[in-house]
Amino acid sequence: MDLLNETLSKIRPLDEAAMENARERQDQLTKPAGSLGVLEEISIKLAGITGEVINNVDKKTVVVMAGDHGVVDEGVSAFPREVTPQMVANFVNGGAAINVLSRHVGANVIVVDVGVAVPIENASVLSRKVKSGTANFAKEPAMTRDEAVKAIEVGIEVANELIDDGVRLLATGDMGIGNTTPSSAILVALTGTPVDGMVGRGTGIGNGDLDHKKKVIADAIGFHGPDRNDPIDVLAKVGGLEIAALAGLVLGAAARRTPVVIDGFISGAGALVAGHLSPLSRDYMIASHVSVEPGHRAILDELGLRPMLYMDMRLGEGTGAALAMGMVDAATKVIS
């Protein structure tokens, strides 16, 4: 059996008995029942995920999946494609916001080249390139179905390697100039909602460009006709390599009963694909923040997740998820 299907078959429901034990323990602690709100809910969810009431998430890693997007040729982004490898270099040099915030919460950062357009010559970047950027989905499918599966499997493999290495809490992060466009396209294609309200300014395009971005997305979905009941078809036709890998990371975490904190809009699109491939995988996701990007709320609602942080962030990289990892850590401490 291939890795994707094997992983999907391993995702099981939460451990209800462990959750009940965690609930009982929370109610015995010196405080009015439920008064720590989401911190208590997370501690109970973690019990369901791991099977243990007391959890330790000291070893945590933010995984930044990087990829480029052919659709940038359509003028949908405020930044040029060259920024993707520049930021990848910045991440491994420790100089980006995600590095600062990960250090703040005691998390490692790993950067995976799933599909950057140019060669990345840096031993600190995990080299798992499936393809040198997607094709321009305004004109042809972003990738083949095989490439989409391979990119998902990159995420599964990374999750497995990290968990084998003792990591107990994962977070999703992304880098890819233009990647709000495929994220919106995935959201629209998987949910069947109209593009209005699901497409935003990304890193900061103006009004005219926003209308154009909406048209590019709506036209591509009309042209390719992705099958909303087949998330891999959606990924292949209008998705992204790093988004596929993020979906894989979530599935890999769920199959190994490991919690995974979901960052903003792009990570949310990956999580949405994971949730459509395996509805049970949603139980292993922990939402972090609600992004400025308008479709993010729709993704969280679709996944049944509630964000903790309202901080108007829209950087990606995993920055919101890193902050939320600190909250998950706090949740393990209030039940200990």
Please list the active-site residues.
317
Nearer to a second copy, 207 or 229 (CB): 207
With tokens 């993707």, the residue in question is 84
Distance CA 219, CA 212 (A): 10
271, 256, 261: which is closest to 302 by C-alpha? 271
Q: Does 327 bind a second copy (CB under 8 A)?
A: yes
Site for a second copy in 102-121 (CB under 8 A): 103-104
221, 185, 176: which is closest to 203 by C-alpha? 176
Token representation of residue 122: 């840096």
Residue span binding a second copy (CB under 8 A) among the ranges 87-95, 155-163, 165-173, 234-242? 87-95
Q: Does 329 bind a second copy (CB under 8 A)?
A: yes
String of b and e for 168-190 (b: at least 16 CB within 10 Å)?
Answer: bbbbbbbbbbbbbbbbbbbbbbb
Q: Does 207 bind a second copy (CB under 8 A)?
A: no
Token representation of residue 315: 């950087």
Site for a second copy in 19-78 (CB under 8 A): 29-33, 35-39, 78
With tokens 């499936």, the residue in question is 130
| Per-position x/- string for 282-321, each x denoting binding to a second copy as judged by CB under 8 A, each - no binding | ----------x-------------xxxxxxxxxx---x--
Q: How far is the CB of 38 from a second copy (least distance, A)?
A: 4
Q: Please pick, from the candidates 43, 90, 180, 267, the single residue that binds a second copy as defined by CB under 8 A.
A: 90
Distance CA 316, CA 313 (A): 8
Distance CA 154, CA 271 (A): 15
Give the residues lining the site for a second copy (CB under 8 A): 29-33, 35-39, 78-79, 87, 90, 95-97, 100-101, 103-104, 203-204, 292, 306-315, 319, 323, 326-327, 329-330, 333-334, 336
